[in-house]
Amino acid sequence: MIDFEKSKGMVFPRNVLLGHNILEQVTEVCDDFRFPRTGMIITGDDTYKAAGKDVQCFMEEAGYDIHIHKTGDAVFSNVEKIVTLAKETDSRFILAVGGGSKIDLAKITAKELNLPFISVPTSAAHDGIASGRASMKSDMGPLSVDAVVPLAIVADTSVISKSPYRLLASGCADVISNLTAVMDWEFARRLRNEEFSRSAEALSRYSAETIIENSKLIRPNLEESVWIAMRPIIISGISMSVAGSSRPTSGSEHLFSHALDILHPGTALHGEQCGVGSIMMMYLHGGNWMKIRDALEDIGAPTNAKQLSLKPDDIIDALVEAHNIRKERFTILGDRGLSRETAETVARTTMVI
């Protein structure tokens, strides 16, 4: 008899609250987890006004000693500052009240200090709300870093609906781009025998298809649109926990986005770039790229270079460079990438330029 020794661990959020005016329930979540009485809120200037101040009041009224740290971009120097303050204040848990950068900083800090943290999103620009991966900025471009999964998520749709609609549209585009990410993953499984999770693939694909099926219902200034979008956005993040990596949500379209971040930093949002990248990568896969483009148009997310505030050559440059971003991640771009001529053909055929 041959011993079977294969094992795998998966960590998920233990409590997910999603709905209208549920911000106050963050205290109940902390009580349920029997958190110590001293904690920290990681937030920013705008997000503190949007929800951080209310969360602070709710927590203090419930008897918690809360320290506020307003921070900026998701860079490692800010992690160091947060870690130092958390130690100085003897904070025993973290509440991340903000958008993607604040939640990413909280994930890294929580891992560094072995502290529990709760994700309280004020916007939904990408699917990192529920994942155990953090996107950090560096001199070498964006880095995907292993972090920790939030112990809980408290997503108040009334708060998120007040954030700029562009952020929600970007989050939806990021999830739609899962379609090419899982195709790349399957491609790597067939050609490179890469480890593959059918469960993670199914969750990722379900998230993307749900956004696409409801694309005509996702509109500005509608809290119901946030309700429709948030569940697949959260499930998309959970697919990474199942996989143990970002593979189910990050493929060639993300390599394209990261190339743009290096070549033209700060021009467009991450999810916007991934959405446009997914149009072109689906064409390379021989799939229905028009389905992706139409859904992005329904939502109001960019589908071409002009809407990303980029020039045609910028798109071609990023396509040519994309395969060099993460050499270990095999995608439809292959090891050698695209020639400039092929990149231009892809971009023109899909009407990205």
- What does each C-alpha distance from 351 to 173, 217, 288, 303 come to in angstroms? 17, 25, 14, 8
pLDDT of residue 40: 97
Rounded to an integer, what distance in angstroms lies between the CA atom of residue 22 and that of residue 246?
29
pLDDT of residue 280: 98
Q: Which residue carries 């509440």 as its tokens?
A: 95
Rounded to an integer, what distance in angstroms lies between the CA atom of residue 60 and that of residue 146?
32
Q: Strands 38-43 and 94-98, how do they pair?
A: parallel
Q: What are the residue ranges in the chain where pLDDT is below 50?
A: none
Rounded to an integer, what distance in angstroms lies between the CA atom of residue 9 and that of residue 229?
28
Q: What pTM value is reported for the model?
A: 0.93
Each residue of 276-328: pLDDT tens digit? 999 999 999 999 999 999 999 999 999 999 999 999 999 999 999 999 998 89
pLDDT of residue 294: 98
pLDDT of residue 74: 87
What φ, ψ does residue 80 adopt, rounded to 5°? -60, -40
pLDDT of residue 53: 97
Rounded to an integer, what distance in angstroms lies between the CA atom of residue 184 and that of residue 312?
25
pLDDT of residue 5: 65
Contact 326, 194 (CB under 8 A): no
CB atoms within 10 A of CB 347: 24
